[in-house]
Amino acid sequence: MKQEEALRMVNISKYFPGVKALDRVTFTVNQGEVHALVGENGAGKSTLMKILAGALQPDEGEIYLEGEKVFIPTPQSAWERGISIIYQELNLLPDLNVVQNIFLGREHRGRLRVLSYSTMIREAESLLARVGVGIAPQTMVRNLSVAQQQQVEIAKALSLNAKILVMDEPTASLSETEVEKLFGIIRDLKSKGVTIVYISHRLEEVFRIADRVTVLKDGKCIGTYSIGELDRDKLVKLMVGRSFSETFPEKAKETGPMVVEVRNLSVPRILKNVNFSVRAGEIVGFFGLVGSGRTDLAKALFGFYPHYSGEIVVKGKTVKLHSPQRAIAEGVGFAPEDRKSEGLCLGLSVKDNCVMAVLDEMRSTFFLNRRRETGLVQKFVADLRIKTPHFYQRVQNLSGGNQQKVVLAKWLATRPDFLIFDEPTRGIDVGAKQEIYHLMRQLASQGKAILMISSELPEVIGMSDRIYVMHDGAIVREFGWGERVDEERIMYFAAGLHVER
């Protein structure tokens, strides 16, 4: 049976400053199929779908709907053409009820432009029935579970006469039974002729629900496969197999004493029984997909979750990390994921940022000791080779790599024993990346214990002496010293495939 083509995106390219997010990607979806779109973080899945939704414009390429060439300049025009996207972060307004949400911005109006509420309620009921769920149409969205909200989003998409429904990580926060229910709905929609594009990290789900799979990697389309052609290992290989040319500094030859030991660290609904340790002189890598709890772990170690349970031992002493101040006092430093909004005061100078975490130590009697301050900044600017015209330059005028070095300087000033780097090289160009890598290794060899969180597999493998893989708020696998490790194996655990076996 030759299937009708619903959507064809041809040679789509999209450039962001310094990055080629999509490189001549061609993506074809047939009428009435469930088509999975898979790839690593940053492979280009979201960008491709944003282009389809009209939220972004491609720099080159064409889009065909049912064989007809179209332009999608705005999200509205995407709806009009029957394309609906359900994002991972649901887009409902919590303080309106289900009906109001479904018909938001296109309410039915009767005579005199008065809202005809009863018509809308009736229609909402029939839409919800089509999705196969029994939600009272006048419930406030705030009172619905995530799964129910998702069902409302699907009903909303149906009310827009969606012919193509894109679901971005729909199962990320659903329970087992809710997932089953969602799959039921998807199969039902499929039987009614709706085409579904299904984006997911969870490969086992892809095998259960998808008809065909398209794999993206580094902004390129690797290929489209019918599900029968693939098995798990093959799919993982397609996703991560790459040739990369980055060079990483040599790994640690020996390690010192234990610096941090974490036992049964739990934070309700966020972290589950996390156990790990970091020794002086080693870089320990943490890998996990979005939502795996890797950043939450870092935050917990930095005192942002004061109500954690379990034990954190720093240099042989059990400590209570109830606040960032406490964590800093215990010798923990944390370079957060988002440099600009969390790591730096962009409007302040290089000097102010460098001494920010040690202001209280810079005092002699009441006032700050200027000589000590400038001495410190001078040292770090030289040691880390921060390129800035003068100390008083605003940090926002520095490049990404130099900004990251300022963050590093801020933490080195606290003379920490244990440093956490969350995505240390995000948004930094290749040359600066090398520098940051070498600085990290240098710090380790000076006896610091380093925990590095990254979603870039080559970076994790290239930099880490040991690797912990996280999934669903728990550590699912440790790759120890010298253990054979490759991207496929890490991805296998991170995607939760081990649970199936």
Interface residues with another protein (CB under 8 A) are 302, 323-325, 327-328, 334, 336, 341-348, 352, 355-357, 359-360, 362-363, 366-368, 370, 396-397, 410, 414
Measured from the CB atom, the residue of 67 and 347 that comes closer to another protein is 347
Residue with token string 């600017």 = 381
Residue with token string 């215990």 = 330
CA-based nearest residue to 424, from 382, 411, 379, 416 = 411
With a CB cutoff of 8 Å and minimum separation 6, the contacts of 455 are 40, 41, 42, 287, 288, 289, 290, 423
Least spacing, CB of residue 299 vs another protein, in Å: 10
Two tokens, residue 400: 């990404």
Measured from the CB atom, the residue of 172 and 356 that comes closer to another protein is 356
Measured from the CB atom, the residue of 16 and 392 that comes closer to another protein is 392
- Kind plus residue range of the DSSP H or E element containing 16: strand 5-16
Least spacing, CB of residue 371 vs another protein, in Å: 13
Least spacing, CB of residue 355 vs another protein, in Å: 8
Measured from the CB atom, the residue of 78 and 344 that comes closer to another protein is 344
Measured from the CB atom, the residue of 305 and 493 that comes closer to another protein is 305
DSSP 78-135: HHHTTEEEE-SS----TTSBHHHHHTTTS--B-GGG-B-HHHHHHHHHHHHHHHT---
- Burial code (b: 16+ CB inside 10 Å, e: under 16) for 293-318 equals bbbbbbbbbbbbbeebeeebebbeee
Least spacing, CB of residue 323 vs another protein, in Å: 8
Least spacing, CB of residue 213 vs another protein, in Å: 39
Category of 413 on φ-ψ map: left (φ > 0), alpha (ψ -120 to 50) or beta: alpha
Round to whole Å and give the CA distance between 492 and 178. Answer: 23
Least spacing, CB of residue 367 vs another protein, in Å: 4
Measured from the CB atom, the residue of 131 and 451 that comes closer to another protein is 451
Least spacing, CB of residue 356 vs another protein, in Å: 4
Tell me the three state secondary structure of residue 479: strand
290: how many CB neighbours lie within 10 A of its CB? 12
Measured from the CB atom, the residue of 1 and 114 that comes closer to another protein is 114
Least spacing, CB of residue 410 vs another protein, in Å: 7
**The dihedral formed by the CA atoms of 390, 404, 50 and 239, expressed in degrees to the nearest 10:** 150
Contact (CB, 8 A) for 290 and 317:
no
Measured from the CB atom, the residue of 151 and 404 that comes closer to another protein is 404
